């Protein structure tokens, strides 16, 4: 069973009225692999990620994760089984400090939360892993700043720190560089390059230099369909992809 992929999406289908947002998509992510999902705006990348994570439910198809079909399971159960999503549009707890944001992520994976004996910030079992996740992402010295007061780039880092603190088997990263400047993008790419050795990732990204640096395989999504899967070099050379991205029809 060693060669069974960690995530195997089969014939996934999602309709919004007459629009087919996900059109019989097949994608695999192997253990340890970083699989990038690219495609033009509106191709259905975020919709796809949301179905894997559980926020949206697919109309048909299977999502085999660690050998089980999770397509009908609640989002919180999938998270507890090791699926961690970071959001394209930053989604953190703005009134909590960065540290508390990450504490919640640690806590989510540490059994039930019907615990009322001690303040969470006084529990080393929560604070220490949270601090470690912040440090790993370069936010260690911003732990006690409220998320609302962090810069955009820092909030993006916090997103990622929260996903890491869940100790996931698979990271679902939805445009981790969204809205970042050139410098921040380079820094985030560097952070992800280090993480890539320890985690399996499904990465949605527009920044091609980041995709080139990170992805083991690339799939191209156009209008809800996967039109190509392969190495970055193969994809760059693929005529379908050029047509989709650059409008080079009938070459």
- Does the footprint of another protein cover residue 76 (CB under 8 A)? yes
Rule CB under 8 A: say whether 73 interacts with another protein.
no
From the list 4-12, 13-21, 64-72, 105-113, the region that binds another protein by CB under 8 A is 105-113
Binding flag, residue 94, another protein (CB under 8 A): yes
Would you call 31 helix, strand, or coil by DSSP?
coil
Q: How far apart are CA 117 and CA 100, in angstroms?
A: 17
Residues 159-198 that bind another protein (CB under 8 A): 162, 166
The reply to whether 144 sits near another protein by the rule CB under 8 A is: yes
Binding to another protein by residue 124, rule CB under 8 A? Answer: no
For the CA atoms of 39, 53, 86, 131, the dihedral, rounded to the nearest 10 degrees, stands at -150
Q: 113: which residues sit within 8 A by CB, 6+ positions away? A: 107
Question: From the list 117, 249, 250, 251, which residue makes contact with another protein (rule: CB under 8 A)?
Answer: 117
- Residues 4, 19, 60, 74: which binds another protein (CB under 8 A)? 74
66 touches another protein (CB under 8 A)? no
- 65-73 long-range contacts (CB < 8 A, ≥24 apart) are 65/6, 65/7, 65/8, 65/169, 65/170, 66/6, 66/169, 67/1, 67/4, 71/12
Residue 236 tokens, joined: 């760059």
Binding-site ranges for another protein (CB under 8 A): 53-55, 74-77, 79-80, 84-85, 87, 91-97, 100, 103-105, 107-109, 113-123, 126, 144, 146, 162, 166
């Amino acid at each position: 069973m060693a060669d069974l992929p960690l995530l195997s999406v089969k014939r996934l289908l999602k309709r919004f009225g007459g629009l087919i947002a996900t059109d019989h998509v097949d994608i695999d992510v192997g253990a340890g692999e970083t699989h990038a999902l690219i495609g033009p705006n509106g191709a259905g990348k975020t919709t796809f990620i949301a179905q894997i994570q559980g926020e949206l439910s697919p109309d048909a198809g299977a999502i085999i994760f660690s050998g089980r079909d999770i397509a009908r399971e609640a989002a919180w159960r999938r998270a507890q089984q090791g699926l961690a999503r970071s959001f394209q549009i930053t989604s953190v707890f703005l009134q909590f400090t960065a540290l508390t944001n990450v504490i919640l992520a640690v806590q989510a994976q540490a059994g039930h939360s019907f615990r009322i004996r001690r303040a969470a910030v006084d529990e080393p079992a929560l604070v220490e892993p949270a601090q470690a996740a912040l440090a790993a992402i370069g936010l260690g010295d911003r732990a006690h700043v409220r998320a609302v007061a962090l810069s955009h780039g820092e909030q993006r880092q916090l997103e990622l720190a929260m996903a890491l603190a869940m100790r996931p088997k698979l990271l679902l990263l939805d445009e981790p560089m969204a809205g970042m400047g050139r410098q921040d993008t380079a820094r985030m790419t560097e952070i992800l390059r280090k993480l890539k050795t320890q985690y399996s990732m499904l990465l949605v990204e527009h920044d091609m230099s980041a995709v080139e640096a990170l992805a083991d395989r690339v799939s191209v999504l156009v209008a809800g369909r996967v039109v190509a899967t392969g190495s970055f070099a193969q994809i760059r050379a693929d005529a379908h992809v050029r047509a989709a991205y650059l409008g080079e029809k009938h070459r």
